[in-house]
Amino acid sequence: MDDQSRDNPGVIAFPPLLFASTLAAGLLLHWLMPKHPFPAAPARVAGGILLVVSVLVAGWGRNTMRRAGTNVNPSQPALALVTGGPFRFSRNPLYLSITGFYLGVTLLADALCPLVLLVPLLVVAHYGIVLREERYLEAKFGESYRSYRAKVRRWV
C-alpha cells in the first residue's frame, strides 16, 4: 500500500453509524406501526443479556486492538494484524457485538420492524464492509492474514 490516502479498506459507511441509523429507522417504523413478535418478558430478558454480552465483547475487542497498536476505525490504516483476544474466536467480533447490541435493543422493544431491517443491514455490512476489510487485510498482511483466516471463522 504505497498511497497513504488509500491505506484503508474503503468501507461504504462507518459501521456504528450504519447500524445505529438502521436501528433508529426500524424503531421509528415500530413506533408508527407497532408489531410485537415475541412474548414480552422472555424477549426483554434475552435482549438485556444480549446487550450486556455485546458491550463486553465490544470493549474486549477495542481494548485488544488498541493494545496491538492498531486503529479501530476502519477508515484509518490497519497498523497490525490482531489475532488475540476475541479475534481468536471470530475475525469480526466487533461486528458480532454491534449485531448483538442491535438485536438486544430490538428484543427489549419487542419490535418487528428493526428485526426485518436487520436482514438487509447484514447484507450491506457483509458486502460493503466485511468483504472490503478482508481484501484490504489480505493485500496488506499477505500470508499472515491468509493463515489467520484459515484458522479463525469469519463469525463464530
Q: What is the pLDDT of residues 18-71, one digit of tens each?
A: 999 999 999 999 999 999 999 999 999 999 999 999 999 999 999 999 999 999
Q: Among positive and negative, which fits the CA dihedral 52, 53, 54, 59?
A: positive
Q: Residue 78 phi/psi, 5° resolution?
A: -80, 125
**In angstroms, what CA-CA distances link 102 with 6, 24, 81, 114, 126?**
30, 10, 27, 8, 16
1 has a pLDDT exceeding 50: no
Mean pLDDT (whole number) for 111-117: 98
Angle ∠(16,18,22) on CA atoms, nearest 5: 115
Q: Is pTM, for the whole model, over 0.85?
A: yes
> What is the reported pLDDT for 156?
86
Residue in the block written with cell 412474548: 39
Measured between its terminal Cα atoms, the distance across the chain in Å is 30
pLDDT at 5 over 90: no
Residue pair 36/30 in contact (Cβ under 8 Å)? The answer is no
Distance, C-alpha 12 to centroid of its chain: 14
User: What's the rounded mean pLDDT across residues 65-81?
Assistant: 96
Q: Residue by residue, what is the 3-state secondary structure of 17-47?
A: HHHHHHHHHHHHHHHHCCCCCCCHHHHHHHH
Q: 3 — phi, psi (to 5°)? A: -90, 110
Question: Which carries the bigger pLDDT value, residue 1 or residue 74?
Answer: 74
Q: Kindly tell me if the per-residue pLDDT of 101 is higher than 80.
A: yes
Question: Percent of the chain, pLDDT > 90?
Answer: 96
Domain segments of the chain: what residues?
39-151
User: Mean of the pLDDT values across residues 132-144?
Assistant: 97
The confidence score (pLDDT) of residue 6 equals: 83
pLDDT at 4 over 90: no
